[in-house]
């Protein structure tokens, strides 16, 4: 059993009403169970789906790492690994190669401004706490919405 469901549809609408990304060529919608073991198979599948856009390898890696971190945060911190809760993912690919992703969990949310800086000396040896930092470093845009239960990320092709 795969553990995630997918719907695919061509469209020309943006993910966010106030965002102005390129015209959307294709949009994928997924629903995943809140199981850490589902992250790698799902990310592999999602990356194969968007690989048709022939992105450079460094952009692919950036998107893959950011998606993996967002999913793990949603499962572990958002849904608290509750197998009855789901993660909802939308990935839009623009005609110019831009990729936008929205990851939504069913958790209580959090204040993204209260997350400690993992590069601060007192946090450098911590074994966790780098996911949001990595997402922000790798993507062109990252925002947290709906009290932190939704993360929106965007990566341009150049």
| DSSP line for 72-108 | HHIIIIISTT-TT-EEEEEEEEETTS-EEEEEE-SS-
Strands 86-94 and 99-104: antiparallel
What are residue 37's phi and psi, to 5 degrees? -65, -15
Position 2 scores a pLDDT of 57
Nearest to 147 by CA among 89, 90, 107, 103: 107
pLDDT at 120 over 90: no
pLDDT at 95 over 60: yes
Delineate the domains of the chain, giving CATH numbers in brackets: 4-155 (3.30.565.10)
pLDDT at 144 over 70: yes
Residue range 26-78, pLDDT digits in tens: 899 999 999 999 999 999 999 998 987 777 888 999 999 999 999 999 999 99
Instruction: Pick 7 or 156 by higher pLDDT.
Output: 156
Residue-wise burial string across 44-56, b where 16 or more C-beta atoms lie within 10 A, e elsewhere: eebbebbeebebe
Round the average pLDDT of the chain to a whole number and report it: 85
- Which residue matches tokens 């997924």? 30
């Amino acid at each position: 059993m795969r553990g995630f469901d997918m719907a695919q549809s061509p469209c020309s609408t943006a993910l966010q009403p106030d965002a102005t990304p390129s015209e959307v060529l294709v949009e994928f919608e997924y629903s995943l169970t809140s199981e850490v073991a589902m992250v790698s198979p799902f990310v592999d599948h999602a990356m194969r789906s968007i690989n048709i856009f022939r992105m450079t390898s460094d952009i692919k890696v950036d998107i893959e790492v950011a998606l993996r971190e967002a999913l793990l945060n949603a499962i572990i911190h958002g849904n608290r690994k509750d197998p009855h809760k789901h993660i909802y993912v939308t990935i839009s690919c623009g005609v110019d190669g831009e990729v936008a992703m929205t990851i939504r969990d069913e958790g209580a949310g959090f204040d993204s401004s209260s997350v400690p800086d993992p590069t601060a000396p007192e946090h450098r040896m911590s074994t966790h706490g780098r996911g949001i930092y990595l997402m922000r470093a790798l993507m062109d845009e990252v925002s947290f919405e709906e009290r932190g239960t939704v993360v929106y990320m965007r990566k341009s092709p150049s």
